[in-house]
Each structure stands twice: as C-alpha cells, then as structure tokens.
Amino acid sequence: MNIQEAKEEIKKTVRAYTARTDGGSLRIPMKRQRPLLLIGPPGIGKTAIMEQVARECSVGLLSYTMTHHTRQSAVGLPVLEQREYDGKSYTVTSYTMSEIIAAVYEQMEQSGCREGILFLDEINCVSETLMPAMLQFLQYKTFGSHRLPEGWVIAAAGNPPAYNRSVREFDTVTLDRVRRMEVEPDLRVWKEYAARRGLHPAVLSFLELRPERFYVMDPGHAGFVTGRAWEDLSEILLTMEELELGVEETLFGQYLQEEETALEFAFYYRVYEKWKRQLEPDQILAGGHASDDGTLLLPDLPFDERLCIVWLLLQRLLSMGTVLEEQQKLSDSLGFFAESLPASRELQTVIKERLASRQKGLQVRKENGLLSSEEEEREKRLARIIRACAEKLRLGGGMSVFTDRSREEAQRTREQQERLASGMEHASAFIREAFGDGQELTVLLTGFTEHPVCRELMKRECPELWQEAGRQLDAEGREEELRRKLQNHARE
C-alpha cells in the first residue's frame, strides 16, 4: 500500500482501538489489540503520518527510536526489596518503571489527553538483549510489571533488511502478534501532499517529467534519493531564493545523494531560473502578458521548458489555495470566538481568560508534536486580532468591534476567493494560447483538481473551467495517457 492508504488504515485502527462500550470498557480489549507494524524503505514518510494521524484523531503521540534503548531503559532498573512470604522475610528483585511507560504517563499528566499513539521506530533494530522484552510488550502491552495505559495504541515502524545492515528479520512468533503493513513510495500520493505544502515548482515539474527520479534506493548502489530529500531540498531552495542568497551547484548533491539525479535536477533548475526571470507569473495571473514586447515564442520551446512554465504558474496558484484555506479557517475561528462572548461588563476579563486558556492548550499540543506550523501561525494571527479588538473595547468601543472585524476577515476571504478563481482562469487561458489544448493544459488542470480548495472553488466559481477539466481528464484515461507521454518525453 502507499503512505496515504496506510495513514487512513491507522486512523481507522486508532478509532477502533480507543472506542468504548456504553459501560466505558474498551470495545476491543488491550490484549486483542495487535500493534501496527509499518515496514517500508526509508524516507517515505512513516514517521510523518503518525504526527498527522495524532492531530486528526485528537490523541497524544509519543515517539521513540528503539535503537537508542537498552533493556534497562525499556524494562526498568533492578532494585532490591524486602518481602515477606510464609512468615519469613526475603530479599527480592523488583524493577523501576520503564522509561517508555513513565513517559506515557507523564504526557498524559501534562496534556490531559488520556488516549494516544506510542510510536516505536526502527523496532527491528533493537538489541538482542531487548528483543525478548519487546516481544512481551507487543503481546501483553507491558514492560516488566508495568502496563501501557488503556486507550494508548502501539504503532511501530522499520526498514526491510535490504536497507539497513542492523535489521533482523522478525520471526513467526513476533509476526503473529502484530498487524504488518507493507508501505511503498508512491509519487502520485506524494505529489498531492507536496502541492498542498507549496513545494518548489522546479521540484514538482522535474518529478512530473522524470518520475523515476522520485525515489532511488537500490540496496546494491551507493547513491539514493528519497521523498524526504526532495521536500528538504525544496525548503532550502525556497528560502535561499527569498533571501536572494544564490544557489550553488554543490547544494543539489548534498540532498540528492545519487549523482545522476543531482546532475539532471541541477540542469533543470537552471532552466527554471531562466523562466522565472523572463516570465511575470503575477502579471499573467492578473490577466496580463508574459512579456511587454511579446517576444516570447513559447510554442517552439522544448517540452521540459514548457512544463517548467506550467508549474511556475501552477505552484503560485496552489500556494494561493493554501493561503485561502488558512484565511477561511481564521475567519471561521474569529467568528466563533465573537459569537461565544457573553454580553457582560466583565468582558475584558473573559477575553483575557479565554485567550490564556487557548494559548495554554496550544502550547501543550506543540510540546507533544500535535500542532502543525500552519495552525501555529494561524493561531498567532488570531490572537493578535483578538487583542487588538479587546484594546478597542477597552477604549470605549462596543461589542461591534468584534463583529466588524469578523466581517472584515470574511470579506478578505471572499476577495482571495475571487483572486484565485480569476488566476486559475487567466492561467488556463495563457497556457491554452501559448501551447494549445495539449498535455500542458492537462497538467495545469490536473494540478487544480488535486488541491481540495482549488478544486472546490473551480467547481463553484469557474464552471466552464471545471467542465474543461472533466473533458481533459475524462473516463477514457487521459490522465494515464498523459503520464505515458511525460515518460516518453523524458526518455527522448
């Protein structure tokens, strides 16, 4: 299965394992809850999806890399105790609480969250002395005499032996106690995630053209490239471009640790740089032209350069879609906050208390890895708006300061919707005029449909464009045909 399918299966499992009867008992007893075991090559997002699942299911998350643990830290340290049996006193060995189990209880105390995921990474790399204790934990959910709290789900991950010399194969006894899920890299799924994250257009368009370069991991070869590497490279490229630091050739090989892939992408990135200088994407999206003197002869370009131009526009629009999504959430949150305020003379105190409570909750979620960077930024902006409204209220304004500001944010949302809808129409018209109704237009429209905000807005505000997308990606398999054409172009 791909990483998205694995994520959905994990979410279903968390909900099933934490579900309770009317009497409050777990529907599936802990002893029948088989731990999830994700096995797949490195760099495909096994750890990242655990964070996403925890956020989306509103449960805690505690992660451990098992290669860093000894038997003593997992099971606990031995201590001597005096106990009486049959009227006689004996010195016996007991154990302190497992470091892992203790951390679960500590997180429960700090966050107030009684349910969560205990994620054990690199589980098939544990030491030989720890392996028997791990087997006991997978089956009975206990380390030594200490049990994992009810409501906590065990998930583990590991790499196949071909990718890690420290890995040991699981025996039948172990496999009979887990739910094994084989996860493979999938460019289509990763591209949807990457587009929403606003990854660099050169990365996205290059992988559209050369999909076989997305994941290069030959156990018998020294070089490798992973999805993690492409995402990290994208982040540094976007930042260096924004700061105008200049990108040197050596940078690509530091992330793409397979020589041919690094060289190919370095060449392609220079093509991207050229068109970024010559095109004016914002002007095109506003209905202008690519060049004031009209000297750009786009139809005569090689296909890789045409694709680069498409993604320059597409990435800008997808980023606008992500911004719109955050603006919509901000507007909704502000409206809800304003509507929930009581008509009271102690309104300043109420606002202060609610803000403090909200910030405390966010801080706990951040410490536990459950707060995304996008949500953190949105909450900071929301807090600034609420404080500004509270200050106006203190200076004599009425409750209308909140409702007025809420209307302003709603209006900003509508304006951004209009800009995005207009931008999608202008970009489509430009690509059609420059390249016709070929695969360039199909790539653009496919990108719109893969971003949920752009897709819904196109369906609602741009019906003709939505119908065109349907014709381009009809049931006869145009999308699959496009992928074959892109691969043929890459080979040529």
Residue ranges of the domains in the chain?
3-72+106-184, 188-321+415-491, 342-398
Burial of 242 (C-beta count, 10 Å sphere; 0-12/13-18/19+) = exposed
- The whole-angstrom separation of Cα 447 and Cα 195 is 8
- CB < 8 Å & 24+ apart, contacts of 397-403: 399/341, 399/343, 399/347, 402/334, 402/337, 402/338, 402/341, 403/338
Q: What is the mean pLDDT of residues 247-266?
A: 91
The whole-number pLDDT of residue 216 equals 86
- Can you tell me the distance from the alpha carbon of 406 to that of 167, in angstroms, rounded to the nearest whole number? 55
Residue 220's pLDDT is what?
62
The two beta strands, 142-143 and 146-147, are antiparallel
- Per-residue pLDDT tens digits for 275-331: 888 887 888 888 776 454 444 556 678 888 888 888 889 888 988 888 898 888 888
> What is the three-class DSSP state of 144?
coil
Opening angle at CA 49, ends 106 and 219, nearest 5: 115
CB atoms within 10 A of CB 477: 11
**Residues 7/155, Cβ–Cβ less than 8 Å:** no
Average pLDDT value for the chain: 81
Residue 421 has pLDDT above 90, yes or no: yes
pLDDT of residue 244: 87
Q: Give pLDDT, residue 140.
A: 83
Q: Hey, CA dihedral for 478, 484, 490, 492, is it positive or negative?
A: negative
Does this model's pTM top 0.85? no
Q: Indicate the CATH number for domain 3-72+106-184.
A: 3.40.50.300
Strand-pair category, 216-217 with 224-225: antiparallel
Distance between CA atoms of residues 1 and 171, nearest Å:
22
d(CA 27, CA 19): 6
For residue 167, give the 3-state DSSP assignment: coil
HSE-CB at 159 with a 13 A cutoff on CA atoms is: 19
Q: Which of 136, 195, 194 is nearest to 314 (CA)?
A: 195
Q: Which of 26-30, 202-206, 306-310, 387-391 has the lowest mean pLDDT?
A: 387-391
Mean pLDDT, residues 69-75 taken together: 68
Which pLDDT belongs to residue 296? 53
pLDDT of residue 483: 55
In the structure, how many helices (H) and strands (E) does the chain have?
Answer: 20, 11
Partners of residue 93 on adjacent β-strands? 80
For the stretch 75-116, pLDDT in tens is 767 778 888 888 888 888 777 777 888 888 888 887 777 888
- Say if residue 342's pLDDT is above 80: no
CA 464 to chain centroid, in Å, comes to: 32
Share of the chain above pLDDT 90, in %: 13
- Give mean pLDDT, residues 339-358: 74
Q: How far apart are CA 415 and CA 392, in angstroms?
A: 25
For the beta carbon of residue 75, count every other beta carbon within 10 angstroms: 28
Cα separation, 355 vs 383, in Å, equals 7
Q: Please tell me the least confidently modeled range out of 93-97, 233-237, 381-385, 457-461.
A: 93-97
What pLDDT digit, counting tens, does each position of 197-249 carry?
788 889 988 988 888 898 888 766 678 898 889 999 999 999 998 898 888 88
The position carrying tokens 């000894």 is 70
| 337-362 mean pLDDT | 75
pLDDT confidence band for 432 (50 / 70 / 90): confident
Q: How far is CA 70 from CA 149, 154, 177, 390, in A?
A: 22, 19, 22, 53
Between CA 143 and CA 158 the distance in angstroms is: 20
**Under 8 Å between Cβ of 80 and 91:** yes
pLDDT in tens, 5-23: 889 999 999 999 999 998 8
**Token pair of 230, please?**
């492409």
**Using one digit for the tens of pLDDT, what is the confidence trace for 135-169?**
888 888 888 778 888 889 999 888 776 666 666 67
Specify whether the CB–CB gap between 104 and 64 falls below 8 A: no
pLDDT reported for residue 420:
93
Which residue(s) pair with 217 in the sheet?
Answer: 224
Round to whole Å and give the CA distance between 138 and 177.
Answer: 7
- Given its phi and psi angles, is residue 302 left (phi above 0), alpha (psi -120 to 50 degrees) or beta? beta
pLDDT at 492 exceeding the cut of 70: no
pLDDT at 230: 92
3-state secondary structure of 178: coil
